[in-house]
Amino acid sequence: MSLLVIMFSLLLAIFSYSLLKYLIMRKQGHRLPLPPGPKPWPIIGNLPHMGPMPHQNLAALARSYGPLLHLRLGFVDVVVAASAAVAEQFLKIHDANFSSRPPNAGAKYIAYNYHDIVFSPYGSRWRLLRKISSVHLFSAKALDDYRHVRKEEVAALALKLASSRARPVSLGQLLNICTANTLGRVMLGRRVFSDGGDGSHGGDPKADEFKSMVVEVMVLSGMFNIGDFIPALEWLDLQGIVSKMKKLHQKFDKFLSDVLEEHKRLMNKSDDQKQTDMLSTLISFQSEEGKLTDTEIKAVLLNMFLAGTDTSSSTVEWAMAELIRHPKILAQVQQELDSVVGKDRLVSELDLPKLTYFQAFIKETFRHHPSTPLSLPRIAAESCVINGYHIPKGSTLLVNIWAIGRDPNKWAEPLEFRPERFLAGGEKADVDVRGNDFEVIPFGAGRRICAGMTLGLRMVQLLTATLAHAFDWDLPEGLTPESLDMEEVYGLTLQRLVPLTVHPMPRLSNNAYQGSI
């Protein structure tokens, strides 16, 4: 019975595809050509071309067909920007036309059916959610008000590492706990996890589960789900992606529902006390005109905990791996930190602008290891023309941020990790990472640029500077810097295939660690 249903669905899909293709070709008879790209297969189109590492495969296709690609994924037109110049056309010149998101399973089944900031359709509700988060969490004043929280949580991590007594630690897990607790204190007024024990996988079980859930969400959301591109097959869930998303959503929803209800109870018990955390602010908007629903509040919290923890922690993990692989770069970073900060205290955020070489190193990390290798998809509201090619209405746009950072037409020896390229006299001395210079856009650009970019930058810089300054790093026995595995796992965020396990060795005076909490 089920086999007959599948066969019928496939035949229906074939017929629909053929009819749709015929109608499109007739309608586009006198239009400009579509961008070049590989020939699609029947029905599934170019889905086989994506492979397990879509960002790498699309970069290879761009080398053959050019920096503006057209693919047909199932029944969906997809255009890929793989150079800074093409990305600027989409995200700056035609930004208004590409300000909304296409339908996708992740937004539907994980992100509360498009009620969050990341996947919400462009419109009044998205602008309201974006404004609330921008003013109350990511504004310059809000970031300065919570500087002490970041300082205390990073110092707690440094103390934990200094107390590990050269035992191997899973650095990514501890970084995830640190970023989650930092966000928790800002958003909820409290930490959400314990400090992770000794960092050797024996810490807070809830933190371990949370990290695995976050990674699974990023992996699933980064997969090209057949049902998103061939709607007739969506109900079959051929890859099992939707069922896994639904189970994950249930876990996250329970976690967030408990957090929301507990916070409301605490607020009711302390009406005379001013609540300064973000969740209290969101709850207060429920009594105003255009009020937020519980679902929208949970969706915003989900965005913050997913995007705000994994992107920062994974970027810092990549940064530390590069420092370990390049001892000369680490020595130069440490020399600059010692000259600016000294050895009797930890780095503060006020030190960061004075660290010229370190800032260049961070830019090179973002170029080499963008946390989001393929931008979150956007959709064309109307047809338009880019570089002389027709971009159909309803096309999905993907910007290959990973490929742009490795474009040999823009970067000398792009596969080399070389911070000097961002120093005075270097090839890209004036390039920034905040969305205005399209050679390096780890946070995206335009209207849908990452809402938490400024916070993410501060966390990545403070965490990396503290770890580089406060410790020397050894690898487990049998590993050398040259043999360190740098393979990637594709997802919405770019994870390390092999988590970074290291031996931290304190290099500052004892009171630098004890006196920072």
For residues 399 and 91, what is the distance between their CA atoms, to the nearest angstrom? 9
HEC per residue, 351-396: HHHHCHHHHHHHHHHHHHCCCCCECCCEECCCCEEECCEEECCCCE
Taking a C-beta distance cutoff of 8 angstroms, is the pair 126, 107 a contact? no
Answer left, alpha or beta for residue 472, where phi above 0 means left and psi between -120 and 50 means alpha.
beta
pLDDT at 267: 84
For residues 342 and 340, what is the distance between their CA atoms, to the nearest angstrom? 6
Q: Which two tokens stand for residue 71?
A: 């693919």
Taking a C-beta distance cutoff of 8 angstroms, is the pair 458, 143 a contact? yes
Q: Could you tell me how far CA 83 lies from the centroid of its own chain?
A: 20
Collect all residues with Cβ–Cβ distance below 8 Å to 425 and sequence separation of at least 6. Answer: none
Between the two ends of the chain, the Cα-to-Cα distance in Å is 65
pLDDT at 1: 42
Closest to 85 measured CA to CA, from 449, 446, 437: 437
For residues 81 and 299, what is the distance between their CA atoms, to the nearest angstrom? 29
Residues belonging to the binding site for heme are 450
pLDDT at 278: 85
> Residues in the chain with pLDDT < 70?
1-30, 166, 195-204, 270-275, 288-290, 515-517
pLDDT at 330: 98
Let me know the angle formed at the C-alpha of 150 by 148 and 153, rounded to the nearest 5 degrees.
105
Q: Please count the residues of the chain.
A: 517
Report DSSP state, residue 500. -
Residues belonging to the binding site are 450
Question: Half-sphere exposure of residue 314, counting CA atoms within 13 Å on the CB side?
Answer: 31
pLDDT at 199: 47
pLDDT at 194: 75
Let me know the angle formed at the C-alpha of 357 by 353 and 358, rounded to the nearest 5 degrees.
65
pLDDT at 202: 46
The sign of the CA dihedral 388, 390, 393, 397 is negative
pLDDT at 22: 43
User: Could you give the percent of the chain with pLDDT greater than 90?
Assistant: 72
Superfamily for domain range 31-514:
Cytochrome P450 (1.10.630.10)
